[in-house]
Amino acid sequence: MSDNTAIAHGAHDAPGDTHSGGHEAHPAYLRHHFENVEQQADAAGFAMWLFLLTEIMFFGGLFTAYLIYRNWYYPAFVAASHQLDIFWGTLNTAVLITSSFTMAMGVWCAETRKQKGLVLSLVLTFILGLGFLGIKTVEYKEKIEKHHVPGFHYSLQSFINPQSDAKIHEEYPNDQPLATDMARHTEVYFSLYFAMTGMHALHMIIGIAILGFMIYRAQAGAYTAGHVTFVENFGLYWHFVDIVWIFLFPLLYLISRHQ
Amino acid sequence: MSATIINLPDQSTARIPKVNYLTKENGLLSWLLTGDHKRIAILYLVSITFFFFIGGAMAGLIRLELLTPSTDLMATDTYNKVFTMHGVVMIFLFLVPSVPATLGNFFIPMMIGAKDLALPKINLLSWYLYIAAGIMIIYTMATGGVDTGWTFTTPLSTHYVNTNVLTTGLGVFIAGFSSIFTGLNFIVTIHKMRAPGMTWFRLPLFVWAHYAASILMVLGTPVLAIAIVLVALERTIGIGVFDPTKGGDPILFQHLFWFYSHPAVYIMILPGFGVISETISTFSRKRVFGYTAVAFSSVAIAVFGFFVWAHHMFIMGVSNYAVLVFSLLTMLVAVPSAIKIFNWTFTLYKGSITFETPMLYTFGFMGLFTIGGLTGVFLGASGTDIHLTETYFIVAHFHFVMVGGMLMAFLAGIHFWWPKMTGRMYPEKISQLAAVVTFIGFNFTFFPQFILGTLGMPRRYASYPPEFQVLNVFSTAGATILGVGYLLPILYLTWSLKYGEIAGDNPWQATGLEWQTQSPPLTENFLVTPIMDHEAYDYEWLEKQKEKEVTSVG
**pLDDT level of residue B8 (50, 70, 90 thresholds):** low
Q: Is the minimum CB–CB distance between A18 and chain B shorter than 8 Å? A: no
Picking from B125, B239, B256 by the largest number of A CB atoms within 10 A of its own CB, the best residue to mutate is B239
Query: In 3D, which of B193, B150, B192 has the Cα closest to residue B175?
Result: B150
| A150 contact residues in B (CB cutoff 8 A) | 237-240, 246
Beta strand segments in B259-369, E: none
| pTM: predicted TM-score of the whole model, two decimal places | 0.92
Mean pLDDT of chain B: 93
Mean pLDDT across the stretch A226-234? 92
* Residue B513 near residue B11, CB atoms below 8 Å: no
Predicted ipTM beyond 0.85: yes
Query: In 3D, which of B245, B334, B339 has the Cα closest to residue B292?
Result: B339
Provide the β-strand partners of residue B391.
Answer: B458
Q: Looking at residue A257, what is its pLDDT?
A: 85
CA B342, B346, B347: angle at the middle one, nearest 5?
115
| A61 contact residues in B (CB cutoff 8 A) | 222-223, 226-227, 230, 256, 259
| A33 contact residues in B (CB cutoff 8 A) | 114-118, 120, 193, 524
Ramachandran area for residue B144 (φ above 0: left; ψ -120 to 50: alpha; else beta): left
**pLDDT level of residue A175 (50, 70, 90 thresholds):** confident
* Number of domains chain B contains: 1
**pLDDT level of residue B551 (50, 70, 90 thresholds):** low
Mean pLDDT across the stretch B34-55? 96
| B122 contact residues in A (CB cutoff 8 A) | 47
Who's near B84: CB < 8 A, 6+ residues apart?
Answer: B145, B146, B147, B148, B149, B150
| A149 contact residues in B (CB cutoff 8 A) | 237
* Residue B515 near residue B506, CB atoms below 8 Å: yes
Q: Looking at residue A6, what is its pLDDT?
A: 37
Query: In 3D, which of B158, B153, B156 has the Cα closest to residue B239?
Result: B158
The torsion angles phi and psi of B263, rounded to 5 degrees, stand at -50, -30
Express each pLDDT in A54-80 by its tens digit: 999 999 999 999 999 999 999 999 999
Q: Looking at residue A4, what is its pLDDT?
A: 38
Is A2 part of a structural domain of the chain? Answer: no
Q: Looking at residue B6, what is its pLDDT?
A: 57
* Number of domains chain A contains: 1
Provide the β-strand partners of residue B12.
Answer: none
Domain extent for A90 = 51-254
Is A230 part of a structural domain of the chain? Answer: yes
Domain extent for B539 = 33-546
Specify the DSSP element, H or E, that contains B149: none
Contact A35 B529 (CB under 8 A): yes
**Taking the CA of residue B166 as centre, how many other CA atoms within 13 Å lie in the half-sphere pointing to its CB?**
8
Is A62 part of a structural domain of the chain? Answer: yes
Express each pLDDT in B291-301 by its tens digit: 999 999 999 99
**pLDDT level of residue A25 (50, 70, 90 thresholds):** low
CA B383, B387, B389: angle at the middle one, nearest 5?
100
Contact B184 A54 (CB under 8 A): yes
| SS3 category, B462 | coil
Is B17 part of a structural domain of the chain? Answer: no
Contact A58 B223 (CB under 8 A): yes
**pLDDT level of residue B11 (50, 70, 90 thresholds):** low
Is B10 part of a structural domain of the chain? Answer: no
Is A229 part of a structural domain of the chain? Answer: yes
Is A210 part of a structural domain of the chain? Answer: yes
| A51 contact residues in B (CB cutoff 8 A) | 184
pLDDT of B133 > 60? The answer is yes
Q: Looking at residue B9, what is its pLDDT?
A: 67
Cis peptide before B17 (omega within 30 of 0): no
Q: Which amino acid is at A253?
A: Y
Contact A188 B240 (CB under 8 A): yes
d(CA A127, CA A130): 5
Counting one residue from chain A and one from chain B, the pairs whose CB atoms sit within 8 A come to 128
Mean pLDDT of chain A: 88
Q: Looking at residue A132, what is its pLDDT?
A: 97
Please, which residues 199-258 of chain A have a Cβ atom closer than 8 Å to chain B?
199
Is A29 part of a structural domain of the chain? Answer: no
Q: Looking at residue A15, what is its pLDDT?
A: 41
d(CA A213, CA B165): 34
Question: Domain containing A91 — which CATH number?
Answer: 1.20.120.80
Mean pLDDT across the stretch B211-220? 96
Express each pLDDT in B467-522 by its tens digit: 999 999 999 999 999 999 999 999 999 999 999 999 988 999 999 999 999 989 99
Is B325 part of a structural domain of the chain? Answer: yes
**pLDDT level of residue A12 (50, 70, 90 thresholds):** very low
Smallest CA–CA distance from A76 into chain B, residue? B247
| SS3 category, B135 | helix
Q: Is the minimum CB–CB distance between A69 and chain B shorter than 8 Å? A: yes
> Rounded to whole angstroms, what are the CA distances from B172 to B134, B226, B354, B356, B442?
9, 12, 41, 37, 28
Contact A46 B191 (CB under 8 A): yes
| SS3 category, B391 | strand
* Residue B309 near residue B262, CB atoms below 8 Å: yes
Residue B191 CB neighbours (<10 A): 16
Query: In 3D, which of B431, B554, B546 has the Cα closest to residue B504?
Result: B554
Question: Domain containing B275 — which CATH number?
Answer: 1.20.210.10
Is B15 part of a structural domain of the chain? Answer: no
pLDDT of B549 > 80? The answer is no
Contact A185 B241 (CB under 8 A): no
Is B89 part of a structural domain of the chain? Answer: yes
Is B477 part of a structural domain of the chain? Answer: yes
**pLDDT level of residue A9 (50, 70, 90 thresholds):** very low
Is B6 part of a structural domain of the chain? Answer: no
Q: Looking at residue A110, what is its pLDDT?
A: 94
